[in-house]
Structure 1
Amino acid sequence: MISEQAKQRMRELAARYPVARSAVMPALYIAQAEEGYVSRAALEAVAEVLNMTVDDVESVATFYTMYYQRPPGKKVIKVCNSISCYLRGCDALIEQLERRLRIKRGETSPDGRYTLLTVECLASCGTAPVLQVNDEFVENLTPELVDRLVDQWEAEFQAEGQSQGRSPAGAGGC
């Protein structure tokens, strides 16, 4: 469910444009930030605020890869597969990630840790192959670097799990 505060932000954005529907992309970002992905309720809220049909909003949300149609994993890994990255071996790196993460491109792991996506361009052709994990870019990828990254992510999840299972120091217990 999209909050009234988010809808108000969308209305304020729409007011900046001569035609309200021009705010559809930033409105979708607001909706996605609120729910983590663009749900049916989000599509309906954006359509209502911008006086568009749900189908028109959905056509924008499904055309662009930056809008998630399903809840993404905690780590969203976007691997560039444009010509520069392709010529520098991104396909083998994608296959390596699929093996290590046990998911195929376009999928989210059952435990909700990872989403693996391929994208057309991450605008870093000079340092190909590249990937983006959440908001962080990793350039000059090699098979060894991919293995180190996955090991690092797994260690982060393990540490996160351990810290959630512990009582704070000094907390009472039997």
Structure 2
Amino acid sequence: MSKVIPIKQVQAYAEQTVDYRQVLSQSEIDAIEHECALYESRPAAAIDALQIVQRERRWISDESLYAIADMLCMSATALEGIATFYNLIYRQPVGQHVIHLCNSISCWLNDFQTIADHLRNTLNVEFGQTTSDGNITLLPNVCLGCCNKAPALMLDGELIENLDIASIDKLLQSLGGGKNE
């Protein structure tokens, strides 16, 4: 039977605040302030702020989320909604490299399953997992927008199209993750 958490406890957790100056680095603060200056309101810089912190830390921890919310003068709940909506904002730790494998209909029609199976078997992970050495995280992605060059993946923000087993092996070898662990 699942435990029922009182609504007041949930609200207290969701609205926890921290002083951003105690959590964020000066370079993160400066970069976020720069982005805020480009918008009419501070909360409008939310995605930019999340990306800035993620670039430094590879993911957005709860503490980082609360600090960003404090800096942007917005609720942590609203920022959490933004962070969890975008699949390129990571709310859990990820590997040094992140592979987003496109699983759109175009990729399915162009051998997605073979590519997916090969990645999972070679890396010894399932979707949503990170290799035991912390090097590579494998994630599915609904669409990368390159259907005419399927199958495709995005590695650390770079699109790689027209995949086959040989190109996957070459890619993994370049990342130091080409053998079962």
- Please give the range of the TM-score, normalised by the shorter of the 2 chains: 0.7 to 0.9
Answer whether contact 2:172 2:178 (CA < 8 A) is retained: no
Cα deviation 1:77-109 (Å, max 9, x = unaligned): 111111211211212211211111000011111
Query: Helix, strand or coil: the match of 1:115?
Result: strand
Taking structure 2 as the reference length, what is the TM-score of the superposition?
0.78
Answer whether contact 1:76 1:134 (CA < 8 A) is retained: yes
Tell me, yes or no, if structure 1 residue 121 matches structure 2 residue 129.
Answer: no
What is the match of residue 78 of structure 1? 100
**Partner Cα separation in structure 2 for residue 125 and residue 79 of structure 1:** 13
**Partner Cα separation in structure 2 for residue 32 and residue 42 of structure 1:** 9
Choose which of 50, 58, 70 in structure 1 pairs with 2:80: 58
Query: Helix, strand or coil: the match of 2:168?
Result: helix
Report the aligned-residue RMSD.
Answer: 2.0
Ranges in structure 2 where 5+ consecutive residues have no aligned partner: 1-22
- The one-letter code of the counterpart of 1:138 is I
Query: Helix, strand or coil: the match of 1:78?
Result: strand
Tell me, yes or no, if structure 1 residue 96 matches structure 2 residue 118.
Answer: yes
**Partner Cα separation in structure 2 for residue 23 and residue 16 of structure 1:** 8
**Partner Cα separation in structure 2 for residue 128 and residue 67 of structure 1:** 24
What is the match of residue 10 of structure 1? 32
- The one-letter code of the counterpart of 1:28 is L
Taking structure 1 as the reference length, what is the TM-score of the superposition?
0.81
Aligned sequence identity (%)? 34
Cα deviation 1:9-51 (Å, max 9, x = unaligned): 2233223212221110001011111212111121012101111
CA change 1:153–1:53 in 2 (3 A) is: same
The Cα of 1:113 is off from its aligned counterpart by 1.1
What is the match of residue 163 of structure 1? none
- The one-letter code of the counterpart of 2:66 is E
The aligned length equals 157
What is the match of residue 11 of structure 2? none
Ranges in structure 1 where 5+ consecutive residues have no aligned partner: 158-174
**Partner Cα separation in structure 2 for residue 32 and residue 110 of structure 1:** 21
Choose which of 48, 60, 63 in structure 2 pairs with 1:38: 60
